[in-house]
Amino acid sequence: MSRFVLGAGVAGLSAGMASGFPVLEREDRPGGVCTSYYRRENTPERLSDRSGDDEAYQFETGGGHWIFGGDPAVLRFIASLAPIASHQRRASVFFPETGVLVPYPLQNHLSALDVGAQARMLAQTSAPREIRTMRDWLGASFGEALCQEFFFPFHELYTAGLYREIAPQDAFKSPRESSATGYNSRFVYPERGLSRLVGEMAARCETRCGNGVVAIDRSSKTLVMQQGAPLSYASLISTLPLQRTLELAGMAVDCPTDPWTSVLVLNIAAERGPRCPDEHWLYLPHTTSKFHRVGFYSNVDESFLPRAERGKRRVVSCYVERAFVGGDKPTARETREYAASVTAELRRWGFIENALIVDPTWIDVAYTWAWPSSRWRAAAIAALEVEGIYPVGRYARWTFQGIAESMRDGFVAGAAARLQAAGAV
């Protein structure tokens, strides 16, 4: 019987390359959330590659997916497929009420705030407390004043309110040391976009797009497909979100499912406003439209702009992220109203003037979380592995990691599966 990889994101493609197993993908294109696409002004069509005259805006399906960290061998592999440019992070916290930009991490740049606020925050000490939730960890780490100023309202938006209940995690995203700390102080990005990297990877393995798995029949070891005959399998590498793999396999574990947040990404091209920042992205504690981050593609690389606009600083391309509790997707009307609210808010701040393109994308599983003392993730992975289904990558293993780490996991799992299939282990 055959062996398959489920999902043609970067982890799945890496596993497919290392194993030689076919990669099954529901969408018409590989890449998952790590996919570039292109839009021209005044046309709604999303283009899968650059047009001949290079006069389209480039966007990412899931917002700015920059490649940070990672094993040097993986980064060398990426560079061998698609030339990459390296960038030093420029990120700040933006306070819309005052228009103040404070370099990230905020706690190391309190002098950028007004003197009174700085004094209150420096005088605030965190009292010992039991740390059970993310809110507890933030309070104990940064003190009540700084949390009220930034960390609590930002995490209210970033986690769609879950930070009061979920366990502490991803502490490296709120560093407490030097300004160079954090998980992405330097990052790389492929020239001509993520789709170039994804396309090169997909060309090096057997990728079957446009026909996803709708059920995994464990008793007969068959995959029920969207169309066509079922496929018999001996084992599977799944890079699909962990709860989705359980659902497909008709399985459950005896503990509450850990939560996740979905993200609505608005990709925007607009006339550049008089106060448009030069940062790569901004963290936002308060917004009328309830988004928590705005990033600027064209501040990372001007190739995101049409060729005729590069070097002129007349237009900007950006992405805006808003979180929702897992799968609580807004309606089409709500999305239109939200898009109008966002563009109006960005105009009030002076970041943009007239919007030229506003294009929403939806990431159903964007960030994964855990309940305090949860056993769900470990139990789910163990139950699937007993059935010969091996979760690999960021969403399948329900953990935060970047593109390079997910590729590494795919290579390791794929190589091990190939050896196992050959009877070497």
Are 16 and 7 spatial neighbours (Cβ–Cβ below 8 Å)? no
Q: What are the beta bridge partners of residue 263?
A: 323, 363
Quick one: DSSP state of residue 289?
A: T
Per-residue confidence (pLDDT) for residue 176, from 0 to 100: 55
Phi, psi of 379 (to 5 degrees): -65, -40
The pLDDT value recorded for residue 183 is 59
Residue at 77: amino acid letter: F
Query: 149 in a domain, yes or no?
Result: yes
Q: Same domain, yes or no, for 176 and 310?
A: yes
pLDDT of residue 192: 80
Are 147 and 269 contained in the same domain?
yes
8 A C-beta contact, residue 280 and residue 87: yes
Both 365 and 274 in a single domain? yes
Phi, psi of 38 (to 5 degrees): -135, 145
The CA distance from 141 to 157, in Å, is 19
Question: In the prediction, which pLDDT does 203 show?
Answer: 96
DSSP 8-state assignment for residue 309? G
Q: How far apart are CA 283 and CA 279, in angstroms?
A: 11
* Cβ pair 290, 367 in contact under 8 A: no
End-to-end CA distance of the chain: 18
**77 within domain boundaries:** no
| Domain of 92, in residue numbers | 88-188+259-369
**Is 49 domain-assigned?**
no
Domain total of the chain: 2
Both 264 and 319 in one domain: the answer is: yes
C-alpha torsion 369→374→376→381, nearest 10: 80
Are residues 249 and 133 located together in one domain of the fold? no
pLDDT number for residue 173 = 62
- Asked if residue 160 is part of any domain, the answer here is yes
Residue 266 lies in a domain: yes
Residue 326: per-residue pLDDT: 94
- Structure tokens of 131? 């740390």
Q: How far apart are CA 14 and CA 10, in angstroms?
A: 6
Query: Can you tell me the distance from the alpha carbon of 392 to that of 381, in angstroms, rounded to the nearest whole number?
Result: 10
Which tens digit of pLDDT belongs to each residue from 149-159? 999 999 999 99
Query: Which tokens in the block code for residue 235?
Result: 């084992």
Give the model confidence (pLDDT) of 284-310 as tens digits: 999 999 999 999 999 999 999 999 999
Q: Are 413 and 236 in contact (CB under 8 A)?
A: no
Stronger pLDDT, 119 or 369, i.e. the higher one: 369
Q: Could you tell me if residue 40 is inside a domain? A: no
Contact 150, 94 (CB under 8 A): no
Percent of the chain predicted with pLDDT > 70: 92
Q: CB–CB of 67/175 below 8 Å?
A: no
pTM of this structure: 0.92
- Residue range 397-412: mean pLDDT, rounded: 94
Q: 273 with 148, same domain?
A: yes
CA distance 109 to 335: 36
Which pLDDT belongs to residue 118?
58
Same domain, 139 and 243: no
Contact 355, 341 (CB under 8 A): no
Residue 127: which pLDDT band, with cuts at 50, 70 and 90?
A: low
Tell me if 81 is assigned to some domain: no
pLDDT at 113: 74
pLDDT at 233: 97
Cα(397)–Cα(368) distance, integer angstroms: 10
- The CATH number of the domain holding residue 230 is 3.50.50.60
Tokens read off for 262: 């979905």
pLDDT of residue 182 exceeding 60, the answer is no
Torsion on CA atoms 376, 380, 382, 386, rounded to nearest 10: 150
Q: How far is CA 344 from the centre of its chain?
A: 25
Q: Are 261 and 415 in contact (CB under 8 A)?
A: no
Q: What are the helix (H) ranges across 82-204?
A: 115-123, 134-142, 144-146, 152-158, 194-202
359-397 per-residue burial string, b: 16 or more CB within 10 A, e: under 16: bbbbbbbbbbbbbeebebbeebbebbeeeebbbbbbbbb
Domain closes at, from 369, 386, 405: 369
| Residue at 393 is within a domain | yes
The C-alpha atoms of residue 198 and residue 202 are separated, in whole angstroms, by 6
372: pLDDT strictly greater than 90: yes
Average pLDDT in the chain: 91
Residues of the chain with pLDDT > 90, as a percent, come to 78
Helices (H), 30-160: 72-81, 115-123, 134-142, 144-146, 152-158
Of 352, 369, 386, the residue at which a domain comes to its end is 369
Residues whose CB falls within 8 Å of the CB of residue 303, separated by 6 or more in sequence, listed in order? 58, 191, 192, 310
Question: Residues 166, 302: one domain?
Answer: yes
Do both 183 and 280 map to the same domain? yes
Q: What is the pLDDT of residues 96-120, one digit of tens each?
A: 999 999 999 888 788 777 656 655 6
Encode pLDDT of 50-89 as tens digits: 878 899 999 999 999 899 877 899 999 999 999 999 999 9
Give the position of tokens 């855990």. 370
Within this chain, do residues 404 and 330 fall inside the same structural domain, yes or no?
A: no
Backbone phi and psi for residue 349, each to the nearest 5 degrees, phi listed first: -75, -15
Q: Confidence band (pLDDT; 50, 70, 90) for 178?
A: very low
Report pLDDT for 122: 56
Residues 350, 268 share a domain: yes
